[in-house]
Amino acid sequence: MRINKKTVIVTGGILALALLGGGAAVWAQSSGKSGPPSDSLVYLYDTDLKLVSDPSFVWKFDSDIYTSASTTDMNVPVTCSAASTGVSFFMSPVGNERTPSGWSAWTVAMFPRTSHDVLLATLTPQTFIAGNALAVKAAGGKYSLGFVCTSDNGLKVDAAYYRTIDMTGGSGDFTVEKQ
């Protein structure tokens, strides 16, 4: 059999795709997620402005939930890129974090006039006025809860910051999985 340069390149490309695909499948299976991970860690603070890191802590559907990029200082913002023009808070099926049309419920926010900082993003599910947060509450299940930096009139997600939650149908009570 004669092997030429084109055969080697095509075979190498197929092998690389197979390895990448296999690695992605193993990652998805081991992480329990079907989508890419959050762009960075997100820490949650409660109504009393205390860090909540216990995965057995039960949040209510209307609990005040604030985010920070720090475990020691709740006033550390997440900074979106200069290309970002907006921010949205969302709840979505796991894997749809970067697809606005796939979100179950959301609300749109604005940046402060002088920065692209997201400071103390409020992730209270009850406050998501677009979509159908009450349907999520009724159904329960596994969802992602977080916020995204957007551009192109909110249609393009530049970065996503979220946590996976397990919600009880009916009550809307939920726990947050470890990151």
Q: pLDDT digits over 54-105, tens only?
A: 999 999 999 999 999 999 999 999 999 999 999 999 999 999 999 999 999 9
| Beta-carbon-side half-sphere exposure of residue 67 (alpha carbons within 13 Å) | 25
178 Cβ neighbours under 8 A, 6+ residues apart: 55
Q: pLDDT digits over 33-66, tens only?
A: 445 689 999 999 999 999 999 999 999 999 999 9
* Percent of the chain whose predicted confidence (pLDDT) is above 90: 73
According to the model, what pLDDT value does residue 90 have? 97
DSSP code, position 121 = -
Phi, psi of 108 (to 5 degrees): -100, 140
Could you tell me which of 156, 157, 134, 133 has the C-alpha nearest to residue 145?
Answer: 133
Maximum pairwise Cα distance, the chain = 73
According to the model, what pLDDT value does residue 19 have? 32
